Amino acid sequence: KNEVEQSPQNLTAQEGEFITINCSYSVGISALHWLQQHPGGGIVSLFMLSSGKKKHGRLIATINIQEKHSSLHITASHPRDSAVYICAVSTLSNTGNQFYFGTGTSLTVIP
Amino acid sequence: DSGVTQTPKHLITATGQRVTLRCSPRSGDLSVYWYQQSLDQGLQFLIHYYNGEERAKGNILERFSAQQFPDLHSELNLSSLELGDSALYFCASSVDGPPTGEQYFGPGTRLTVT
């Protein structure tokens, strides 16, 4: 069973396009994370949110707790946005805070 | 640069062997998390330490163990290695524990078991 589902798995966009990546989860969460992983392998945390909406530059993340759904939007996409975007949730269990990851969305932005 | 360091960057070893991966968190961060990323399983949470104490265990095998030392660096020990243990191992650190601690990831250690 997958606690976190992402869609789409792969996404190709033209430079300048508006991009949306979706994440649905099935567990009660304490926080949701959006991560970016570049081809070299390094992981960067983009957002951590538990409600509402956050914005950093051209990136926007939203979460709807009732619907157990989050979206990551990229406005005016650029080739340097090409990466794998991973949704993760942290949830409190009887063995402490657990983290579950989606399988990632591979984004390619074409100039 | 996240400020989190991991050594070694690459490690090639044989089945049955034991290895130690090291992680130094960002200055001031008390939490260290370990993750495994393999091609077939994706990212998986292994274990979380906060200020020297184990706080949560995820999908960590019994052959694996970890600890966080008084200077807050952490080590992940992998023993009786199997081919399936080949993966990228990341550590991350945060100022405090979840859910409030935003995590900063190290560059990872790529382990290849032959």
- Which of A41, A92, A102 has the CB atom closest to B88's CB atom? A41
The list of chain B residues with pLDDT below 50 reads: none
How confident is the model over A8-58, as pLDDT tens digits? 999 999 999 999 999 999 989 999 999 999 987 899 999 999 999 999 999
CA distances from B8 to B63, B89, B106 (A): 20, 11, 11
Work out the pLDDT band at A90, boundaries 50, 70, 90: very high
Residues in chain B: 114
Contact B42 A103 (CB under 8 A): yes
Chain A contact for B105, CB < 8 A?
yes
Residue found under tokens 């926080």 = A31
In this prediction, residue A39 carries a pLDDT of: 84
How confident is the model over A42-51, as pLDDT tens digits? 999 999 999 9
Give which of B102, B57, B46, B93 is closest to B73, Cα–Cα: B93
- Which of B43, B55, B97 has the CB atom closest to A101's CB atom? B43
Q: How far apart are CA B45 and CA B50, in angstroms?
A: 15
Contact B98 A97 (CB under 8 A): yes
For A43, which residue in chain B has the nearest alpha carbon?
A: B105
- Which of A50, A97, A101 has the CB atom closest to B42's CB atom? A101
Contact A100 B97 (CB under 8 A): no
Contact B45 A31 (CB under 8 A): no
In this prediction, residue B36 carries a pLDDT of: 97
Cis peptide, bond prior to residue B107, ω within 30 of zero:
no
